[in-house]
Amino acid sequence: MHLQKTRGIVLKLLPFNDKNKIVKVYTEHFGLRAFIVGAGSSKLNRGKLSLLQATQPIWLETAFTETGKLSRLGEVTPAASIINAMQHHTKRSMLLFIDEVLYKCLREEQADDQLFNFIFDSIVYLDKTTQNCNNFHLVFLMRLSHHLGFLPTGNYSSVNRFFHYKDGIFDCFTTEGTIMDEVHSELFSKFIELDYQNMESVPLNAQSRNKLLNNMLLYFATHMPSFSNFKSLEILSEIHAV
């Protein structure tokens, strides 16, 4: 049996039966895959399960089967650390949010090197950065929209002041229920060009940040129906209420 090794990002660890669990991993070379992993009390199982926490970057080895079928997870080792982020309350909330976002939008059992590297590098940056990261999730969403194929058009101006969710553009006309309000359209436009290094260059209070986040999620939901009912939003709101 030919074993193959690839990097992956752990998304979910789910119950399966008394002896096994299922772990969903977004892999570098094979896209989204589900694996069977032993849930027994042996030292090997405990060590493997301890690495399978949400957003943990891993190296995994397995005999990959055809798409749609379960493979048994082989050797697992860390590909990067998220220890710092997990010990920081704001960063930890960001990781929970990122995990929920990825779980809702990653569906393809095919490789996308650029998307994988973006996610991997984002998690590593969040763990290592010493700068404030209150806007990290907003920049993450905007960059992710690019990789998913619906990055907004950066045509905001004093004339084109309203962002239209469906078309992904700024325009001068308004249609109730289909546009972002004028204030947050301007803020939204600024995030189109931001990266992690300058993510705090747009000052936001807690209310504006949470409103902009909800607007971004509405934009995603317009293009991806699976985007709804986020459990981690309450945690983010509490973290950013101060």
Shared-domain flag, residues 53 and 142:
no
The per-residue pLDDT for range 79-123, each reduced to its tens digit, is 999 999 999 988 999 999 999 999 999 987 788 999 999 999 999
Q: Which of 90, 88, 86, 67 is nearest to 78 (CA)?
A: 86
Same domain, 191 and 71: no
pTM: predicted TM-score of the whole model, two decimal places: 0.92
The per-residue pLDDT for 50 is 87
Q: At 78, which helix (H) or strand (E)? A: strand 76-78
Q: How many domains does the chain have?
A: 2
What residues make up the domain containing 11?
4-78
Residue 110 shares a structural domain with residue 20: no
Question: Do 93 and 65 belong together in one domain?
Answer: no
Identify whether residues 15 and 41 lie together within a single domain: yes
Pair 214, 148 in one domain: yes
Q: Are the CB atoms for 79 and 52 separated by under 8 Å?
A: no
Of 30, 58, 78, the last residue of a domain is: 78
- Same domain (yes/no): 20, 132: no
Q: Give the CATH number for residue 194.
A: 1.20.1440.120
Question: What are the Cα distances from residue 141, in Å, to 47, 98, 182?
Answer: 32, 9, 20
| Residues 154, 222, 103, 215, CA torsion sign | positive
DSSP string for residues in 159-170: S--EEETTTTEE
> Residue 233, Cα to own-chain centre: how many angstroms?
13
Q: 165 and 73 in one domain?
A: no
Tell me the sheet residues that pair with 169.
164
Residue ending a domain, choose from 35, 51, 78: 78
Contacts of 61 (CB under 8 A, 6+ apart): 3, 4, 5, 74, 75, 76
- Between strands 71-72 and 57-62, the pairing is unpaired
Domain C-terminal end among 60, 78, 96: 78
**Are residues 229 and 133 both part of a single domain?**
yes
CA-wise closest residue to 63 among 33, 85, 89, 20: 33
pLDDT digits (tens, 9 = 90+) for 159-182: 999 999 999 999 998 877 778 999
What is the pLDDT tens value at each position of the chain, 242 positions in all?
Answer: 578 899 999 999 999 888 899 999 999 999 999 999 987 666 656 778 889 999 999 999 988 766 667 888 989 999 999 999 999 988 999 999 999 999 999 987 788 999 999 999 999 999 999 999 999 999 999 999 999 999 999 999 999 999 999 999 999 988 777 789 999 999 999 999 999 999 999 999 989 999 999 899 999 999 998 787 777 677 666 655 43
Is the same domain home to 120 and 151?
yes
CA 184 to chain centre: 22
Integer Cα distance of 191 and 186 in angstroms:
9
Task: Judge if 97 and 176 occupy the same domain.
Answer: yes
